[in-house]
Chains A and B, each alone.
Chain A
């Protein structure tokens, strides 16, 4: 049998998709965002998307800075608003593949309303949310995804707010593709992102990244490998979804494809309606 996995890996060179003149990058040692970026570009490569047709729209924060490193049409927008820019861009230019890179603060706090409505609308955009559970760029403040009890610069005695399940939110709001993966499972992450990009409609992928430098230090979570492995072992992989009768980490979050439904893509529906109006004129 042909080893397609190895073959694909060999044909993919992340450097083909990075702006070499922007290196070295500014991410901290141990940051999970680099793994996520590599997996995303690998997925783009496997989907055969030409770089000229790829538009990457990002918001503000550590995740927001990633767009500048990608050799494509890149837009670093305002805090919380990348989905709104992406909505206009995709509607105006349906020929482009539009990927949004956002973070947990960008997407779920300041940009929460936009996420809900992007999910509901089902425009063909892939939203990749890098969840590192903290505002890293601004020095380590509490985010909507910070776990209870965790220490940040704005929760010096421990976080008293609960976090929430962003994937459940996206699914409830109508996202037609929802998935979650950890950075420790880079092949699974690459596959998931590829599925999200290939999906016709709005896709939301939560990547459980890690902020070693700030969040890890403040909460004594160890170095990057420890943080990544801890996250991996806290998850319930997709493969175990059918074992509910014999619960396997029953309270853990699930990874893999969580929701995939087939419903009309917004842009196509709009264009069909507009074409009908023009015919009737």
Chain B
């Protein structure tokens, strides 16, 4: 009988394999895991996968794929082999994220107040004023505790040498944390014995930590604040996550039509009349959140919400206008931003980035479209992206036109080298699929980072796209104390 990992190919060597060294020997922290998996038959694995699939489907752990008429509900694929991070590597990540989030929050405060960094010309003013996420409506407004980014989910990748790099800072409404929690539960159920062999740091307290963070930003004087989660509704791709988090935190899941603003205060409509709302964990984008101020055609928002927020009568998490700092162009300035506000060298490096708005960079981008990854500055979820090596000449030409027409909106990066991790594809075969990592950072009175995060995995041979909308799945992620 064939044993798992007997024929696993850990090359090509330009990618970092999480489990095996370049020489093909297992990394020590994966030892016990490999040992156990080698004893499994395919029937063992199938039986465990079946348990998990039934569980996921019954709980409705699905996401919605856009671009189809009504939206298709799919189960988010879960890979059975966990990813393991030794504590000493995690500590570097933790420090790096803390530094980065602190600097980005200072940046946002500055941009929305004195704009010192623009006056000092560290970041070009036209990049900020030209960003469609810069909320002029919000300049001079003081968010509670001075915090803008209460929940972030940075995307972290590893280069060929295994160095951790930040690929994106998701400062608006990052999703996926429900999968992190569900994956842990599923893995514990499917492989209790392996789980028990490691000292895995717990993550189950995330909902409580999130709720605490939300309660901390309540308007002053509001004892026992009323916190709600604002969702765009059942047709949103992350609706499952919204209802899951609301249930886990024991708060109400509201839609825009459940809320109403009267005299600068926010209320929810209940069967007993209007009840005051103090904190809104909103999963609705800025542009849809208040039709009075932003997109007037939005049916998802609450008219007058921004005015209530400006007066300090309600808190929003995240704050308005945070997207200006996770714009892919601003991203390239983050190392400078860290030095400017903290006077420190960045602990986590960026991926090299060329800005199409910079003439020299533009030339380089256009000449190397076939080897670069081009991204629209303001899109997320893998939309509006050209992966050079996988593209046709026609696609490259189309992108070249789009870039020249609107250089501010594009950046390019080298084809990113996502690390690889053995994962099941086609149900039984182990293949080194590319992965990234999205740790979740909470920022209230303090910064809290739940150990690990969501490991996303591209479950197609050779694919570098891990987004759920493009065929990605996820893994449980363990931070272990040795």
**A pairs with B:** no
